[in-house]
Amino acid sequence: MLRIVPVYPELLSIYGDRGNVRVLAQRARWRGLPVEVAPLRLGEDLDPAATDVILIGGGQDRDQALVADALIAQVPALRSAIADGVPVLAVCGGFQLLGHSYLDQSGRETPGTGLVDLVTTAGRRRVVGNVVVEVTMNGVKQQLVGFENHAGRTELGAGVAPLGRVVIGGGNIGDGQTEGCRVDRVLGTYVHGPLLPKNPWLADRLLAWGCEHRGLATPLDALDDRLEAAAAQAAIDIARAETQTRR
Ligand code: GLN
């Protein structure tokens, strides 16, 4: 049984991030894979042996502060799962909580898990808008499309690679350069939307890693992603048009 574990979805699932959970589960079902969504609720402990994909969604500053201590208590189990090859997708607030700390606009410093060497500090203005990112994974260039809305400016540590290069949008520090982070199978990103419906290649990458972890057959059968591709192209066209009007 492939287990998809959204972490504290009752608080970390802003801007539709719960859609990422539904896309992963449905793309598994379309392939006839045995799949279960097993949310980790506040107060529960993560069982690394019963976890194949970890999803940490975004949240308001206050939501992040509410979950931080509980999430930090899960670090040993998270490290065990990651070391065993379980992929993590952390979006926005979840991405920030992968790091050492998040200093929000009120001056409150929320501690992070320290799973990835990064630090986030809120800027005065929010970074908001459509975003297109070029990601190179296993030597293949792909595009990520979606939406970003964050005060945080995330600085990656020296040994941490960005997830991708910003083509349109703000990205990690709002300067249009780099976006997200990647350490092996731990992916962080500011891209909401939700992210996975319009980026099926990333959904299948996470699913394949999860299946490998569970000993289920890979590579995954191809799906008819024409609708997803059309949605992604529409999002890119909107982002490009917005960029033109801003000039
Ligand atoms: N509260 C964080 C910020 O404003 C994360 C927001 C989010 O998850 N979209 O940067």
pLDDT value of residue 245: 72
List 181, 192, 211, 213, catalytic entry: 192
Any ligand 1 atom below 6 A from CB of 181? no
Question: 29 alpha carbon to ligand 1 midpoint, in Å?
Answer: 31
> Which residue range(s) make up the domain with 148?
2-246
Counting the structural domains of the chain, the total is 1
Phi/psi for 241 (5° steps) reads -60, -40
Catalytic annotation, pick one of 92, 181, 211, 213: 92
To the query of whether residue 92 is one of the catalytic residues in this protein, the response is: yes
The pick from 7, 14, 15 for probing ligand 1's pocket by mutation, whose C-beta has the most ligand atoms within 8 angstroms, reads: 14
Whether the CB of 63 sits within 6 Å of ligand 1: no
Give the domain CATH number at 117. Answer: 3.40.50.880
- What ligand 1 atom has the least distance to the C-alpha of 122? 10
Q: How far apart are CA 240 and CA 242, in angstroms?
A: 5
In tens digits, the chain (247 residues) has pLDDT values of 999 999 999 999 988 899 999 999 999 999 999 999 999 999 999 999 999 999 999 999 999 999 999 999 999 999 999 999 999 999 999 999 999 999 999 999 999 999 999 999 999 999 999 999 999 999 999 999 999 999 999 999 999 999 999 999 999 999 999 999 999 999 999 999 899 999 999 999 999 999 999 999 889 999 999 999 999 999 999 999 998 876 5
Tell me the per-residue pLDDT of 150-195, one tens digit each, with 9 for 90 and over.
999 999 999 999 999 999 999 999 999 999 999 999 999 999 989 9
Q: pLDDT at position 247, please?
A: 56
How far apart, in Å, are the Cα atoms of 70 and each of 40, 90, 173, 240? Answer: 11, 16, 27, 40
As a whole number of angstroms, the distance between CA 48 and CA 76 comes to: 9
| Ligand 1 in reach of 17 Cβ (< 6 A) | no
Predicted model pTM: 0.97
Q: Which atom of ligand 1 lies nearest, measured to the CA of 57?
A: 8
Closest C-alpha among 83, 97, 27 to residue 55: 97
Q: What is the pLDDT of residue 215?
A: 97
Ligand 1 pocket test, candidate residues 103, 149, 153, 195, most atoms within 8 A of CB = 149
Q: Are 156 and 162 in contact (CB under 8 A)?
A: yes
Nearest-angstrom CA–CA distance, 101 and 117: 10
The encoded tokens of residue 206 equal: 């996470």
- Are the CB atoms for 149 and 192 separated by under 8 Å? yes
Q: Tell me how far the alpha carbon of residue 219 lies from the centroid of ligand 1, in angstroms.
A: 34
Separation between Cα atoms, residue 147 and residue 81, nearest integer Å:
29
Q: What are residue 184's DSSP bridge partners?
A: none
Atom of ligand 1 nearest to the CA of 92: 8
Helix (H) or strand (E) holding 55: strand 53-56
- Contact between 190 and 150 under an 8 Å Cβ cutoff? The reply is yes
Task: Based on the residue annotation, tell me whether 192 is a catalytic residue of this protein.
Answer: yes
Decide: 37 and 88 in contact? Cβ < 8 Å.
no
